[in-house]
Structure 1
Amino acid sequence: MDEVFDGLGALFGDFREGTVQELRRDDMLDSMLKIANAAEVAARLVNEIVEEHEDKMQLDDEGHLIIVGQLAIYRVDVNSFMGKFVNPFSYNSFDVVEVHPKSGLVKEPKSACVQVLHQENMPAYDLFAGYLLGLLNDEVSWLHESLSPLRRTLFQIYGLARSPLSHSLEQHYANTVSGEFDFKNETFTFEGTNGWSWRIHFGLPLHKGYRIEYQKPRQSWWNLLFEDHEKEGTGHYALCNFFEMVEHLSEAPAALKGASDWQTDPILLRKVAADYPSLAKSLVDKLTCSNYSPDDIYTDYEEPINGEQADVIKDLDVQVLRTAGVPLAHA
């Protein structure tokens, strides 16, 4: 193949001579070496991070890196990560990390799949460095939107009782929903919309879920919504765990107007509407439609609600229509 002359290279003092394929191979090699060099720099960064935080990061005899965070202790399989780096085609995410309580390592730890947001062209070890620092600074990172698996795992370990989670959880909810924990009485109170407040009772040993109460404007008392939300609700995802529940209720009752039975728990919707005339009136057309039947309501898992739940909804529908001022003859 004919040799080519690199005119631009010669003009700027970087003369290259060779065939088209030779020059292209040189470019490919140069790109690969740059990536390898960047990986070496990033690998040294990981080593420096571990060295700098030796009191919080130590390697055990099985090649796992023990990271002592503010909320828990993490055991990371470093060899597994490096195996993925050697063969990038097998790499699509980090392996699950062992999560141990802050009090020490346990024989049967919980696990979490912790993901790190990456940027294009970021060396793998840079990503790993961010992963390690995220676990080390877990008091900040665990509330990040993308780390819901870690939140669930930490909740499995500690629950809502006072624990290493409490401080950051109190700050987070004080800033987002004007929330306040009362650990003595085991309650969490926070703001909803339209002047409503919500109160969640935890630490109830005979309950599967939480007791949920609400307070309307100018009320000094609390109204019971659910004595045990897991037993009395339909299992809707909006109430499936503490974080989703607080987010959902903090937008209520306003967000319940126009919400379908897919978007909220249908029992919660009707319980609130039965005590909130404007919401009740917004449901009248639906509840008085000729083809409406509680037996046809499906859960968010695309399964029909059970007969007992349908009967509860039928009774609540009557209360909602009464609150809306609809004559019972039309109910």
Structure 2
Amino acid sequence: MDGMSEEFDGLAALFGDIREGTVQEVRRDDMLDSMLNIAKSAKVAARLVTEIVEEHEDRMQLDEEGHLIIVGRLAIYRVDVKSFMGKFVNPFSYNSFDVVEVHPKTGLVKEPKSACVQVRHQENMPAYDLFAGYLLGLLNDEVSWLHESLSPLRRTLFQIYGLARSPLSPSMERHFANTVGGEFDFVNDTFTFEGTNGWSWRLHYGLPLNKGYRIEYQKPRQTWWNLLFDDHEKETTGHYSVCGFFEVVEHLGEAPGGLKGASDWQTDPILLRKIAADYPALAKSLVGKITSSDYSPDEIYTDFEEPIDGEKADIIKDLDIQVLQTAGVPLAHA
């Protein structure tokens, strides 16, 4: 018998555990084990959420309606916990988190703004782990609000505070100082930052009669500023690359050098030509396009796939002449 036992153990070691039951019974057991393991992971993750809220009780509290109030560094957030748990109970209704209420740092208001905050998830991450990341992201909003995926939160915070000195200011100052050498002047309501090829840019944002920013630029060895737009929202075609503060800074931070080879789909066509009219290298790169026999400013489309209006097309026609002059092309041959 001992010999038979040793032989059997050797087979088990060679082929693995021998499981009893039919093929379907074994597969059902595997399915049950998988579901129980998921439930076990969810229980652990749920405790983690509770521990996070408990650990940060001074900044995370539940109100009488069951909403979780999170006091971030930039704003106050009101999260509908019951709604999230409803999605957890019925995962087929779960696509993303509901919008979160966003209140100014001064306190809760009757008509708060809202934002759809997305959290990066990993495969097989328990739902409550995802929720924990969501809560920590709001708690540490001075870092998370700058993440690329959180543009809805950035827009909402901008709606609340604007560019005046606010709880956003320290985080923005650090971010833009590191990325574009940017500097805010809160006394004169300007933001100055670096472009490429020795150019600098300055945005004026404290203009009550403007819809957008006054944009100026400074070329190498210049001590004065040149006007690009007095009100960029009124004077451009409304291209997405200049539709907001972050977008304008990111786009101009790569200009003028980054505009070479850019199409009228990739940048605002008026901005492109205004810069080219004072930057020969860019002007020369546009000559082939604007002297082509099949080119017409009237056939330039916005990023909404609609033709630009006639007034803007006429502006582009005038700018095309300036671009050709800057490029050194005789107009008689253009």
Q: Which runs of 4+ in 1 moved over 3 A?
A: 5-16
**Does the Cα contact within 8 Å between 1:298 and 1:305 map onto a contact in 2?**
yes
Over aligned residue pairs, what C-alpha RMSD do you find? 1.8
Aligned to 1:79: 82
**Does the Cα contact within 8 Å between 1:9 and 1:16 map onto a contact in 2?**
no
Q: SS of the counterpart of 1:73?
A: strand
Give the C-alpha shift of residue 21 in structure 1. 2.1
Give the C-alpha shift of residue 60 in structure 1. 1.0
Give the C-alpha shift of residue 12 in structure 1. 9.4
Give the C-alpha shift of residue 15 in structure 1. 5.9
Distance, in Å, in 2 between the alignment partners of 1:260 and 1:318 is 18
Aligned to 2:4: none
Distance, in Å, in 2 between the alignment partners of 1:83 and 1:321 is 63
- State the TM-score, normalizing by the size of structure 2: 0.94
Q: SS of the counterpart of 1:106?
A: coil
State yes or no: 1:154 paired with 2:157.
yes
**Does the Cα contact within 8 Å between 1:288 and 1:330 map onto a contact in 2?**
no
The letter for the 2-side match of 1:255 is: G
Distance, in Å, in 1 between the alignment partners of 2:314 and 2:165 is 39
Give the C-alpha shift of residue 145 in structure 1. 1.1
Deviates more, 1:47-56 or 1:288-297: 288-297
State yes or no: 1:178 paired with 2:166.
no
Give the C-alpha shift of residue 165 in structure 1. 0.4
**Does the Cα contact within 8 Å between 1:10 and 1:16 map onto a contact in 2?**
no
Q: List aligned pairs for 1:2-21, cutoff 5 A.
A: 16-21=19-24
**Does the Cα contact within 8 Å between 1:238 and 1:265 map onto a contact in 2?**
yes
Distance, in Å, in 2 between the alignment partners of 1:116 and 1:43 is 17
Unpaired runs of 5+ residues, structure 1, are none
Distance, in Å, in 2 between the alignment partners of 1:103 and 1:6 is 71
Number of residues of Structure 1 aligned to a counterpart in Structure 2: 327
The letter for the 2-side match of 1:132 is: L
Percent identity between matched residues is 86
Q: SS of the counterpart of 1:188?
A: strand
Unpaired runs of 5+ residues, structure 2, are 1-7
Deviates more, 1:5-14 or 1:276-285: 5-14
State yes or no: 1:60 paired with 2:63.
yes
Distance, in Å, in 2 between the alignment partners of 1:282 and 1:274 is 12
The letter for the 2-side match of 1:181 is: F
Distance, in Å, in 2 between the alignment partners of 1:6 and 1:309 is 85
State yes or no: 1:89 paired with 2:80.
no
Aligned to 1:206: 209
**Does the Cα contact within 8 Å between 1:6 and 1:15 map onto a contact in 2?**
no
Distance, in Å, in 2 between the alignment partners of 1:321 and 1:25 is 75
Change (3 A) 1:98 1:9: farther
Give the C-alpha shift of residue 67 in structure 1. 0.4
Q: SS of the counterpart of 1:199?
A: strand
User: Aligned match of 1:322 in 325, 330, 333?
Assistant: 325
Aligned to 2:135: 132
Distance, in Å, in 2 between the alignment partners of 1:160 and 1:6 is 74
